[in-house]
Amino acid sequence: MKPAAFLWVILALLPVRASADDGLRWNLTVLPHASLRYRGEGKVLPESYVNRFAGETSPIYRFELTQVPRSDGYWGVSFWHTGVFGGGSYAEERVPDNTTGGAYQINQLNVGFTNLFVTYHRPVAALPVEARVHASVVREIFKRKQFIVQNVDYRWTNFDDVNEISAEGLGFGLAGRHGGRFYLRWQADAHYYIQLFDAKTDSSAGQIYQSEAALGARVLPRLSVEFGALWQYWFTHSQGNRRLVIPGTDGAVISWNRQETRASGAFLRLDYFFAGRD
């Protein structure tokens, strides 16, 4: 699906849900050309410890629905997505060969994620800043295709694979909005993860750290438009060293024990209030 089509599907659905409850606020953030950098390390001996990923460019979407901000706290939920479904691209992943030199494996990889955050917002006393507590379920998705393993070219088979890691976590953050019709908005959040449903991996499952800042303008009484930048760091554990059978080889590496994913880019955000602003 093209990014624009995905965006319009979301936009078309918004009034249906939100207009039924005149006390909500939604915002949609789109990073049309986010940069995703991924690194993996793991027990895939004797061939390698690490991978090399060229890095991809993919759109990132974030849709957030909250109650209207209240001084005694309010709730919100946000949904993040990037990946092939949202128009993401593939880039080359290489696995160096420690035993013979050169490349053990070359394939195309898209790194995506689908993350859900439930957030409690509460203002800090006498400051235009709010503190945030998050509960989240996150899922990182790795789509691989066009394998060449130990010089066996397997691309002609259209063989592909999807590997996923999920984790559950808690997070703390701060966010501020300064100004009136024209304003500066920022937020920073640190989430710590465990893996409730993966008994074979360490219970400590990593971290997501997010920070963003934007300049915005209230173009209509209930609608604001922002332009800003976002940076997200994600480190997560998994069992790793899963391989796919490819005849005549030791198998295609499709998972690692440790993974680090950085996503960053410029974004455009629409922020709509269904009730009057504070």
Q: Which residues bind another protein (CB under 8 A)?
A: 39-41, 43, 45-46, 49-52, 71-72, 98-99, 122-127, 129, 131, 133, 171-174, 188-192, 204, 206-207, 209, 233, 235, 257-260
Between 43 and 277, CB nearer to another protein:
43
Smallest gap from residue 90 Cβ to another protein (A): 19
Smallest gap from residue 270 Cβ to another protein (A): 27
Smallest gap from residue 109 Cβ to another protein (A): 14
Smallest gap from residue 48 Cβ to another protein (A): 9
Between 150 and 207, CB nearer to another protein:
207
Measured distance CA(241)–CA(41) in Å, rounded: 10
CA angle 77, 80, 81 (to 5 degrees): 150
Cβ atoms of 110 and 146 within 8 Å: the answer is no
Q: Which of 121, 216, 233, 137 is nearest to 173 (CA)?
A: 121
Residue type, 3: P
Smallest gap from residue 262 Cβ to another protein (A): 9
Cβ atoms of 207 and 193 within 8 Å: the answer is yes
Smallest gap from residue 9 Cβ to another protein (A): 34
Cβ atoms of 154 and 144 within 8 Å: the answer is no
Gyration radius (Cα) of the chain, Å:
21
Between 84 and 174, CB nearer to another protein:
174
* Contacts (Cβ under 8 Å, ≥6 apart) of 209: 188, 189, 190, 191, 232, 233, 234
Measured distance CA(103)–CA(110) in Å, rounded: 19
Between 85 and 235, CB nearer to another protein:
235
- B/e letters for 3-29, b = 16+ CB within 10 Å, e = fewer, are beebbeebeeeeeeebeeeeebbbbbb
Phi-psi region of 156 (alpha: psi -120 to 50; beta: other; left: phi over 0): alpha
Smallest gap from residue 159 Cβ to another protein (A): 25
Between 68 and 190, CB nearer to another protein:
190
